[in-house]
Amino acid sequence: MVLKANNIYKSYGTLEILKGVNLEVQRGEIVSIVGKSGAGKSTLLHILGTLDAADKGDLDIRDTRIRSLNARQLAAFRNRYIGFVFQFHHLLPEFTALENVCIPGFIQQKPTAEVKKHAEDLLRYLGLTDRMTHKPTEMSGGEQQRVAVARALINQPDIIFADEPTGNLDSMASQDLHRLIRRLRDDYGQAFVIVTHNKELADLSDRCLEMKDGLLV
């Protein structure tokens, strides 16, 4: 098991968003979370990805109790074991595709040559051999999203969280990303937790859970 969330609660003011969520994710599993807007899907994803903290409940990733880590330890843990792919690619516009992919590896202070080679290998794997020296504005939306996927993979995390990853893509690019996620799971063994409104992407998952009234059903 790579992730276990137990009795997760989260409120903003008097508004209770999450009401005791429980979730387990196995290694190499693809889990989709669907539900109406405002149901709390993104809030849950941010807590599972350690970008936000629950008001109550426990989160374990790789048998590590997340609330036991201080801020510095948590940042290092997140960089090493967790990857993120968002609806908006969040690529740094002044850097090339290759440089964007390398950043998490440099933060982990891995040798420069090792990080660069791994980034080049990932970009080739994702069909971006000819885009390594291009900046984000010189790439299509689908290409930018694949660069974001490579960046998420550079430190070989155990789990990747994706928040509406096809939200800004056309139908062809969305289908490409659907196939890519399955291939990544098969080839690299990462677990994926995906928040999506895209039925095709949800249907490709090993499990599809609906968020309703602050709970997964």
User: What global pTM score does this model have?
Assistant: 0.90
Position 189 confidence tier, pLDDT thresholds 50, 70, 90: confident
For the chain, the domain total comes to 1
Predicted confidence (pLDDT) per residue in 23-51, tens digit? 999 999 999 999 888 888 989 999 999 99
Please report the pLDDT score of residue 201 as a whole number.
76
Please report the pLDDT score of residue 168 as a whole number.
66
Q: Is the pLDDT of residue 134 over 70?
A: yes
CATH of the domain at 196: 3.40.50.300
Please report the pLDDT score of residue 172 as a whole number.
73
The span from the CA of 75 to the CA of 88, in Å, is: 21
Please report the pLDDT score of residue 78 as a whole number.
94
Please report the pLDDT score of residue 181 as a whole number.
83
The span from the CA of 10 to the CA of 48, in Å, is: 12
The span from the CA of 34 to the CA of 138, in Å, is: 33
Structural domain boundaries enclosing 34: 3-216
Give buried/exposed letters for 149-164 (b at 16+ CB in 10 A, else e): bbbbbbbebbbbbbbb
Structure tokens that stand for 19 in this block: 């009401």
Could you tell me where the DSSP H helices lie in the chain? Answer: 41-48, 71-81, 97-107, 112-125, 141-153, 171-188, 199-203
Predicted confidence (pLDDT) per residue in 138-183, tens digit? 999 889 988 998 999 999 999 999 888 776 666 777 777 778 888 8
SS3 of 10-38: the string is EEECCEEEEEEEEEEECCCCEEEEECCCC
Predicted confidence (pLDDT) per residue in 45-95, tens digit? 999 999 999 999 999 999 999 999 999 999 999 999 999 988 667 899 999
